[in-house]
Amino acid sequence: MVGIVIVSHSWKVAEGIYDLAMQMASENEHIIAAGGMEDGSIGTDAMKIQEAIENADTGDGVAVLADLGSGIMSAEMAIEMLESDIDVRIADAPILEGAISAAVTSTSGASLDEVIEAAEEARTASKLS
């Protein structure tokens, strides 16, 4: 199953998105929230994200959903620092909607490409029509 890592500056945001995603993907044990700094303050920590990616991977790869600015930069650094060969991609998607689409798609047994595609579709989906 494709793993999912949720990266936010705020651990509350990451945990909250995790909770929402888990409502629809309760059997998925490979979704991990990597929010905030070690001491709980707001920020992103590449080492924490790296560890989350390693823990989320089952061999099928990992999709990363990140919020703004350093969320993306720290996720990219984390991917570059990986010691094992893990197939990881960052979805170009809004973090909340993207994470939910990714979680549902991953739980259905889809490939990493399909999970990323599902997350990125959330970018163009209209909410009002």
Strand, helix or coil at 83?
coil
Decide: is 10 part of the binding site for ligand ATP (CB under 6 A): no
Which residue's CB atom is positioned nearest to ligand ATP? 69
Burial class (CB in 10 A: 0-12, 13-18, 19+), 118: buried
Q: Is 30 a catalytic residue?
A: no
Describe the strand order of the beta sheet including 62-66 as a list of residue ranges: 31-35, 3-8, 62-66, 88-90
Number of neighbours of residue 15 by Cβ within 10 angstroms: 15
48 binds, among other proteins, ligand ATP, none (CB under 5 to 8 A by kind): other proteins
Decide: is 69 part of the binding site for other proteins (CB under 8 A): yes
Active-site residue, selected from the candidate residues 4, 9, 14, 107: 9
CB nearer to ligand ATP: pick between 27 and 80: 80
Q: Which residues bind ligand ATP (CB under 6 A)?
A: 9, 44, 69-70
